[in-house]
Amino acid sequence: MKTLLQRCLQFIPVFFGITLLSFGLLYIAPSDPVSIRLSAGGISADPQVVLRMRAEMGLDEPFLVQYGMWLERFVQGDMGRSYMTDLPVAQTFLQALPYTLRMAGAAMLLTLLISLPIGIGIAACRGSRADYGVRLLTFIVSATPSFIVAIVLMFIFSYRLGWIPVLATTKPIGMVLPSAALAIVMSSRYIRQVRAAALDELDKDYIVGLRARGIPERQILFRSVLKNIMVIVITLTGISVGSLLGGTVIVETIFNWSGIGHLIMTAISNRDYPIVQAVVVWMALAFFCVNLLADLSYRYFNPRIKDL
């Protein structure tokens, strides 16, 4: 409880800094939410109408006053209303959140299922053709942008083979390609990290002792070695999950996946401050919670870690 309390107290200034910075960047950005809203609705931006709408939205106030008004509403549980649609921000955000959660969960699970056995397997046969081949392939894939992988998967499985619809965001099958595009790129990085950690573990004396006792190699790899490299795996997972929960803009845009990444890009383009702030708060909380859980789980896999 003391550790949790300390982490929560440390998060408070970080939260204020992140929200203040994001609000300030939008404030100094060119263009204006009122002008964008009027032009999107096909209405000429009459100066009197613009001034009246800015007053109604509170955009005529100084920067710190606007930020203070938003912060006061937020601590009371009110995220405000979208400048573009006039819908409650909480409603818009909660509509996009399940899409991102499903895609992030599927991508992370697929990444671990691919990278852990391959990374440990090539570490066990270091110097072999399989080792060199997998490392070369992962090097190439890790240098490939995720949108290239997404387009290739779409071309093969949707256009050529016709197995998966291109735009099927309302069906479970529509999650296959975006999750696979993210998992392939992440797996290429995970495999190299897992291999390096497993090699370091295989060089330790206790592995020689286990082999001398006649313990099967598979059991050594996937019980002893895997458990001892879980701290590194948890660290990688925490970073990746935080990024995935924040939304992957390019992949969501390619597959028309209405998640958090697509939402925040639209909100930034429209200078929709309340939605941007809601997503920023979500991303900050996601990183905080995931990293906190990762730090706490270190103690389970490595009891020698006493202080976080």
Q: Which overall architecture, per CATH, does domain 89-301 show?
A: Orthogonal Bundle (1.10)
Dig out the tokens for 44 from the structure: 């000429």
The pLDDT tens digits along the chain (308 residues) read: 777 788 788 888 888 888 888 888 878 877 777 777 777 656 666 677 777 877 877 777 888 888 888 888 888 888 888 888 888 888 888 888 888 888 888 888 999 999 999 999 898 888 888 889 999 999 898 888 888 888 898 888 888 887 887 765 667 777 888 888 889 988 988 999 999 999 988 888 888 888 888 888 888 888 888 888 888 888 888 878 877 876 677 888 888 778 888 888 888 888 888 888 888 888 888 888 888 887 777 777 666 665 54
pTM of this structure: 0.79
Domain spans of the chain?
Answer: 89-301
Q: Which among 61, 58, 56, 34 is positioned nearest to 46, based on CA atoms?
A: 34
The answer to whether residues 58 and 69 touch, using CB atoms and an 8 Å cutoff, is yes
